[in-house]
Amino acid sequence: MARDYRLAEHLPNLRPDRQPASPDELPRQRNGVTPQMHSRYPDYNVLDEADHWDEVTRRTVLERLEKVPEIRFFTREEAATLGAFCDVLLAQDREPKIPVLNMIDAKLFAGELDGFHFADLPDDRETWRRVAAGLDAAAVQHGSIEFAGASPEIQERVVNAFAEGELHGQVWDELPPSRAWKVVTRGALSAFYSHPWAWNEIGFGGPAYPRGYARMGVGQRESWEGAAAFERDPVKDTKRRGVQGT
Amino acid sequence: MSRRHELRTLLRGALRPPENDSAFLLDVHRRAVPQERMARYDDSYPVDLVIVGAGAGGATLAQRLARRGWKVVVLDAGPFWDPDADWVSDEAGAHKLYWTEERVTGGTDPVELGKNNSGRGVGGSMVHYAGYCPRFHPSDFEVHTRDGVGEDWPISYSDLKSHYERLELELPVSGEYWPWGDPHRYPHTPHPIAGGADAARGGARKLGIEMKVGPVGITNGSFGNRPHCIYRGFCLQGCKVNAKASPLVTHIPDAIEHGAEIRADCMVSRVELDESSGRVTGVRYLRDGRERIQRADAVVVAGYSIETPRLLLNSTSARFPHGLANHNDQVGRCVMVQGAPQVAGRFPDEMRMYKAPPPEISSEQFYETDERRGFARGFSIQTVGPLPIEHAQHVIGHGHWGRALREYMRDYNHWYTLGILSELLPHPENRVTVTSEVTDQHGLPVARMDYSQSENDRKNIAFAKQTLHDIFEAAGAQDVLETERYAHLVGGCRMGSDPERSVVDADHRCWEVPNLFIADGSVMPTQGSANPALTIMALASRLAERLDLKRSGDSEAARRSRRSRGRRRVPTRAGGG
């Protein structure tokens, strides 16, 4: 079903249940990869532009694709729980997935912290470990054996309670959930939206040195930036792209 | 000065700034600051001045005094950046620009530190600031007298005015004619603005709110050997172009040319005190794992609002058991941040807010107290242009995660974001202390910052946030998302006229130590709702004038001997541009 993105009807705040429609209604990515292959810009692949980036930036970004670090900081059990948590938090319900937990693990393993921790929390490394234990404990409260193996409904309920700061008992009595939520979401979002697959999904122009940007007006884009899927006429577009219509 | 300054601004960028060749000393084809000719002093050689921290305050002070023949060494805990090799056009890749050593943050409204407000390395936080360079208003210096809140400064706007003017030429600052505070022109013309900023300005105008382009420390047109901005939008990740002003490109090159040494990767662990005389003798620091002491006739601490109090509090001695210059328990108190909520608005057309520098337009129409609003002091409105990670934090801050978060992020190109800087008032309980329970990689106790808002603070933030909602509604936004955050850091070692209630006097001299000075944002008694960078530089520029004036009171003989001790040179490499 086509959507008109000039309207804002797809946005959760404006929908009765504050939830979006299924992303399966979106086109599949045709050029390059997006997480789960959902896309608004199906023919735009930011990596096509990598030759235009300066060398240091190119290395930094491409390493995220080419070198997926092994899990070294978390235990196998913690990694299972937190991997499942990151999947729910970022709605990564199938491949291809951005390896968010591996990216977080690498930072924590290397001791690359963010420069502060809340006085009522331990440092970020210990906070992540306790969140793993806390998520399992919360899943047990909901009648499951652990978080990773819980049903999607229970996982969603636990994450929702975490987001609302409404987790109680055991670990959570000593780990204020609303502060811990800030720590883990900061880590997860920084990993996910630093990945070029996520840039494809949202149509972000990406690194622009030394080329820069020149078209900054309303509704304008650079010649190499992607068009949103429904800005184009599907009939003319198949002709333009040389695709045989039926 | 002012009339001449007025005329000068009419000439835009055609004239060189007076007494600062930094832009011309940079290399045309490389972004790194040339260091081949930099002086190297021996640790045991007592320089005139050792400065801790090469940021807005320290670098400006070093440049000014090096020009006047002082022998200056600046120590910085972080690296001497090479923008070509060290910086990337990438949000997550900018992590090393921030102070990422551990700190503890507490209080009822704790402040997230790290990337938002703390720098590391030569150039300081201005390496990753957005680029806004507004002046403070004249009212900022007499907040208590005018509004009965906060604190008066021991100096007035007129003490800083000539320094503001000079710095605006040096950075240089570009923007429209500025109608607020002390009205003034800028030396560089305003930058073009992107579609989103134009839409927001249109919405504001419908409500009678005027927004102006700038003021930003970003060259419009080339400036010396610094090229034109390329509008790539990564100002907060370090400017790889050298178009955005930071002390690394605006003051360090000229300081080096005049004999200052910038010694990077040196973590200062304490200020050394001569117990008998009560004077400081230099600083102890760690370099390559080895402890050293740089001797100096005077010490300036310019490590910003957290590291400056931390260094003083960690410098205990028999004379100062509670930290250097801290007999009255003032060090670390009245640290401040600005309330900086952001509201994003959704438009039918694509705005692609990642293009153009995040600082585009701003308004100071709500800067001063208006009793009808129900709180003292005010706020300013600015554009912020968040990149994907920052915008994702905004979306989750509004309460969306999972599929809703992904849906909002897929819509990223349709959004534009405005931010607030609310003047939050100084409170003594908001303070920096040190905690020996947590130590850094060198085993030094780390800083703990406690922060809680007052009723006036909450009212200010709430009113300001509503104003952004109103602007987006008037601009025709279809949906809005809001998030709470803070910006900037100032205070912690404030200047004053009462030794019982301040750390330094009007000349930045510690009340309790005659040759110890503080030259960063921590001396500010209040903060206005302007970004602090330009004012920190202006304070350092004034301090240089005061110090040199004091020194020229020395005997002529002493001055001659000081000069003959050091290397004198004439800038000869000024070229290009």
Spans of all domains in chain A: 1-246
In the prediction, which pLDDT does A2 show? 53
In the prediction, which pLDDT does B4 show? 77
B89–chain A nearest CA distance, Å? 5
Q: How many CB pairs under 8 A join A and B?
A: 231
Looking at the predicted structure, is the pLDDT value of residue B556 above 80?
no
Q: Given an 8 Å threshold on Cβ–Cβ distance, is A219 in contact with B195? A: yes
Q: What is the pLDDT of residues A100-133, one digit of tens each?
A: 999 999 999 999 999 999 999 999 999 999 999 9
Residues above pLDDT 70, as percent of chain B: 95
Q: Given an 8 Å threshold on Cβ–Cβ distance, is A20 in contact with B95? A: no
Tell me whether strands B431-439 and B445-450 are parallel, antiparallel or unpaired: antiparallel
Mean local confidence (pLDDT), B176-196: 96
Mean local confidence (pLDDT), B192-200: 96
Of A26, A123, A205, the CB nearest to B102: A123
Q: What is the pLDDT of residues B418-452, one digit of tens each?
A: 999 999 999 999 999 999 889 999 999 999 999 99
Looking at the predicted structure, is the pLDDT value of residue B573 above 50?
no
In the prediction, which pLDDT does B50 show? 98
Q: Which residues of chain A neighbour B385 with C-beta distances below 8 Å? A: none
In the prediction, which pLDDT does B199 show? 97
Q: Given an 8 Å threshold on Cβ–Cβ distance, is A114 in contact with B114? A: yes
In the prediction, which pLDDT does A229 show? 75
Could you give the angle at which helices B533-551 and B56-67 cross, rounded to 10 degrees?
Answer: 30
Looking at the predicted structure, is the pLDDT value of residue B494 above 60?
yes
Looking at the predicted structure, is the pLDDT value of residue B561 above 80?
no
- The C-alpha atoms of residue B215 and residue A60 are separated, in whole angstroms, by 32
* Structural domains of chain B, ranges and CATH numbers in brackets: 2-565 (3.50.50.60)
Q: Which candidate in A216, A222, A225, A232 is best for mutational testing of the B interface (most B CBs within 10 A)?
A: A216
Q: CB-based contact (8 Å) between B447 and chain A?
A: no
Mean local confidence (pLDDT), A137-141: 96
Q: Which residues of chain B neighbour A205 with C-beta distances below 8 Å? A: 352, 354-355
Q: Which residues of chain B neighbour A202 with C-beta distances below 8 Å? A: 388, 409-413
Contacts of B43 (CB under 8 A, 6+ apart): B292, B293, B294, B295
- Label residue B572 by pLDDT band (50, 70, 90): very low
What's chain A's Rg over C-alpha atoms? 21
In the prediction, which pLDDT does B571 show? 40
Q: Choose the weakest-confidence range: B76-90, B381-395, B445-459, B560-574.
A: B560-574
Looking at the predicted structure, is the pLDDT value of residue B80 above 70?
yes
Q: What is the pLDDT of residues B371-389, one digit of tens each?
A: 999 999 999 999 999 999 9
In the prediction, which pLDDT does A243 show? 59
Considering only residues 221 to 280 of chain B, which have any Cβ-Cβ distance to chain A shorter than 8 Å?
230-234, 240-241
A139–chain B nearest CA distance, Å? 18
In the prediction, which pLDDT does B14 show? 66
Of B240, B388, B479, the CB nearest to A13: B479
Considering only residues 183 to 222 of chain B, which have any Cβ-Cβ distance to chain A shorter than 8 Å?
192-196, 198-199
Instruction: Decide: A197 and A46 in contact? Cβ < 8 Å.
Output: no
Q: Which residues of chain B neighbour A165 with C-beta distances below 8 Å? A: none
Q: Which residues of chain B neighbour A227 with C-beta distances below 8 Å? A: none
Residues above pLDDT 70, as percent of chain A: 92
- The C-alpha atoms of residue A31 and residue A13 are separated, in whole angstroms, by 30
Could you give the angle at which helices A124-141 and A76-89 cross, rounded to 10 degrees?
Answer: 80
Q: Which residue from A minimizes the CA distance to B86?
A: A56
Q: Which candidate in B411, B416, B440, B451 is best for mutational testing of the A interface (most A CBs within 10 A)?
A: B411
Mean local confidence (pLDDT), B303-308: 97
Q: Given an 8 Å threshold on Cβ–Cβ distance, is B102 in contact with A116? A: yes
Q: Which residues of chain B neighbour A229 with C-beta distances below 8 Å? A: none
Q: Given an 8 Å threshold on Cβ–Cβ distance, is A193 in contact with B346? A: no
Q: What is the pLDDT of residues B249-282, one digit of tens each?
A: 999 999 999 999 999 999 999 999 999 999 999 9
Give residue B304's identity as a one-letter amino acid code: Y
- The C-alpha atoms of residue B286 and residue B314 are separated, in whole angstroms, by 15
- Eight-state DSSP code of residue A123: -
Q: Given an 8 Å threshold on Cβ–Cβ distance, is B233 in contact with A213? A: yes
Better-scored residue on pLDDT, B151 or A245: B151
- Label residue B116 by pLDDT band (50, 70, 90): confident
Q: CB-based contact (8 Å) between B402 and chain A?
A: yes
Give the Cα-Cα-Cα angle B121, B288, B114 (nearest 5 degrees).
Answer: 35
Q: Which residue from A minimizes the CA distance to B411?
A: A202
Looking at the predicted structure, is the pLDDT value of residue B564 above 80?
no
A80–chain B nearest CA distance, Å? 18
Looking at the predicted structure, is the pLDDT value of residue B169 above 80?
yes
Q: Which residues of chain B neighbour A199 with C-beta distances below 8 Å? A: 388
- Eight-state DSSP code of residue B369: -
- Label residue B568 by pLDDT band (50, 70, 90): very low
Q: Which residues of chain B neighbour A217 with C-beta distances below 8 Å? A: 194-195, 198
B262–chain A nearest CA distance, Å? 24
In the prediction, which pLDDT does B356 show? 92
In the prediction, which pLDDT does A242 show? 63
- Label residue A90 by pLDDT band (50, 70, 90): very high
In the prediction, which pLDDT does A139 show? 97
Considering only residues 320 to 359 of chain B, which have any Cβ-Cβ distance to chain A shorter than 8 Å?
346-352, 354-356
B308–chain A nearest CA distance, Å? 16
- Eight-state DSSP code of residue B430: S
Of B90, B412, B479, the CB nearest to A8: B479
Mean local confidence (pLDDT), B277-289: 97
Looking at the predicted structure, is the pLDDT value of residue A96 above 80?
yes
Three-state DSSP at A179 gives helix
In the prediction, which pLDDT does B570 show? 38
Smallest Cα–Cα separation from B266: which of B123, B120, B48, B94? B120
A175–chain B nearest CA distance, Å? 14
- The C-alpha atoms of residue A141 and residue A148 are separated, in whole angstroms, by 14
B441–chain A nearest CA distance, Å? 11
Looking at the predicted structure, is the pLDDT value of residue B476 above 90?
yes
Looking at the predicted structure, is the pLDDT value of residue B542 above 50?
yes
Print the SS3 string covering A100-118: HHHHHHHHHHCCCCCCCEE
B7: its two tokens: 């005329």
Q: What is the pLDDT of residues A18-62, one digit of tens each?
A: 899 999 888 899 999 999 999 899 999 999 999 999 999 999 999
Q: What is the pTM of this model?
A: 0.94
In the prediction, which pLDDT does A240 show? 59
Considering only residues 460 to 479 of chain B, which have any Cβ-Cβ distance to chain A shorter than 8 Å?
478-479
Q: Is the ipTM of this complex over 0.90?
A: yes
Q: What is the mean pLDDT of chain B?
A: 94
Mean local confidence (pLDDT), B14-27: 90
Query: In Å, how far from its chain's centre is CA B380?
Result: 17
Q: Which residues of chain B neighbour A208 with C-beta distances below 8 Å? A: 89, 230, 232-234
Q: Which residue from A minimizes the CA distance to B400?
A: A12
B516–chain A nearest CA distance, Å? 28
Looking at the predicted structure, is the pLDDT value of residue B1 above 60?
no
Of A38, A189, A202, the CB nearest to B412: A202
Q: What is the mean pLDDT of chain A?
A: 92
Q: CB-based contact (8 Å) between B405 and chain A?
A: yes
Tell me whether strands B267-274 and B279-287 are parallel, antiparallel or unpaired: antiparallel
In the prediction, which pLDDT does B328 show? 96
Of A61, A115, A163, the CB nearest to B114: A115
- The C-alpha atoms of residue B283 and residue A123 are separated, in whole angstroms, by 30
Q: Which residue from A minimizes the CA distance to B83?
A: A56
Mean local confidence (pLDDT), B132-138: 98
Mean local confidence (pLDDT), B163-189: 97
Q: Given an 8 Å threshold on Cβ–Cβ distance, is A213 in contact with B346? A: no
In the prediction, which pLDDT does B250 show? 98
Q: CB-based contact (8 Å) between B450 and chain A?
A: yes
- The C-alpha atoms of residue B505 and residue B514 are separated, in whole angstroms, by 11
Instruction: Decide: B453 and B418 in contact? Cβ < 8 Å.
Output: no
Better-scored residue on pLDDT, B124 or A5: B124
In the prediction, which pLDDT does A230 show? 64
In the prediction, which pLDDT does B565 show? 47
- Label residue B15 by pLDDT band (50, 70, 90): confident
